Amino acid sequence: MSSQSNLFYFNINNHDIEILISKIQSGNTDYTLDKMIDNGLFADRAQAVRERLISIDSEELKRKREEEERIIQEEKNVVRKQQIINFCNQIADNQKGLEEIKISILNGVVSLDEMAQNLSESRLSPEIFNKIGYYISGKKQVDFYLWKDLPPLLSDRTDIYFFGQPASGKSCILANMFSYIDKQGLIIENTHSLVGTQYKNTIQYEYDLGYLPERTAASSDGVNYITFELTDPVNQEHKHPLNFIEMSGELFDQASMGGVSDNNLNAKNYLNNKNRKLLFFVVDYDRHVQNTLNPDGNTPQGAKMLTILSLLDQFGTFKQTDGIYILVSKADLFPVGVDPVQYAGDFLNSNYMAFINNCKNIKQKYKSEFEIKAYPYSIGNLT
């Protein structure tokens, strides 16, 4: 041993415990706990050194583990950050629809907070992100109402009816139309049916934001009645007073199975009145294709429409009808490259000829000049 270590051991029991620990930790082989004991370190001090060394080892192990965990977590954060950025970029590139985004958020795949934190490093604009946030957390549900909740139809107007099975796209079509006439400055508000006005405002507002409202299951067996005046775009002094009546798809189904009565379609004389009428039947193209590929056992759309047509005839509705229009909804799903008008006509002639011929028979029966026309309809891609 060196003279310095000899001096150290000569005074071994006078050194502070931390001094002994530092010597052992120095790595110098002249200083070990065993040598200290051999050179007269008291047993209680040796035990104190031993316990302190065990404590230090434990703390060091803990520190190393914490450092390893920190590094692993940082690596996970980097990976997670990139996942969120990729998710946002996929939205920006129109690779994810609103429902897919909603499901991902509700299932915890991503969160709005994570998206907000990484928004600036992605291609997703704040405007689109805010719309998504509104859709997930603030999106309104719109109701269909019971007949007793609605006022009687105003007279001396044109009644416009929309018929179609659930999820056929009636509300989409109306939202698109309300948005268009509002942007063109053609609408004059009439709050005779305030609940209908609120419904119109909601679906129009949310359509303008880039998506459509959901209605509650509890209010599915009802109707919405909207009334307003439409300014003639050619002669603005001329106004067209209109009543819009949208029957829920569930009510449409019920009437096709149970008939028309004062408890459903003809409540408050909504069908049996002296107003002139335009009737729109919405055919869900996507539903038709899906049922052709995978039949669900339910009554086809065409059969339901035939039943409703006959029931309306029984009520004398067609005595005041000026037009029957067939809208093929979700025309954006038509085969790529086809002429949508021609394809819609061919589609109806191939699958709904019975309904078309029944419309012609009704026209002949009443010797009416009313129109029978078909149109493809698509609102296009929403944000």
Concatenating the DSSP letter of every residue in 348-373 gives HHHH-HHHHHHHHHHHHHTT---EEE
Q: What is the mean pLDDT of residues 32-45?
A: 87
The token pair at 275 is 């107003």
Q: Measure the CA–CA gap between 188 and 76, rounded to whole angstroms.
A: 57
User: What are the structural domain ranges in the chain?
Assistant: 60-138, 141-377
pLDDT at 11 over 70: yes
CA distances from 184 to 170, 230, 241, 264 (A): 21, 11, 17, 35
pLDDT at 2 over 90: no
Helices vs. strands in the chain: H and E counts, helices first: 14, 9
pLDDT at 262 over 60: no
CA distances from 90 to 96, 182, 229, 332, 370 (A): 6, 32, 42, 21, 48
The token pair at 261 is 């009565």
pLDDT at 96 over 70: yes
pLDDT at 216: 44
pLDDT at 214: 60
> Of residues 45 and 266, which shows the higher confidence score?
45
pLDDT at 237: 87
Q: Measure the CA–CA gap between 176 and 65, rounded to whole angstroms.
A: 59
Dihedral sign from CA coordinates of 252, 253, 257, 262: negative
Q: What is the mean pLDDT of residues 211-238?
A: 74
Which CATH number applies to 141-377?
Answer: 3.40.50
pLDDT, mean over the chain: 84
Top mean-pLDDT range of 243-252, 270-279, 347-356, 372-381: 347-356
Give the whole-number percent of the chain exceeding pLDDT 70.
87
- Contact criterion met (CB below 8 Å) for 275 and 155: yes
pLDDT at 377 over 90: no
Element at 82 (helix H, strand E): helix 43-92
Burial of 322 (0-12, 13-18, 19+ CB in 10 A): middle
Q: What is the mean pLDDT of residues 323-335?
A: 92
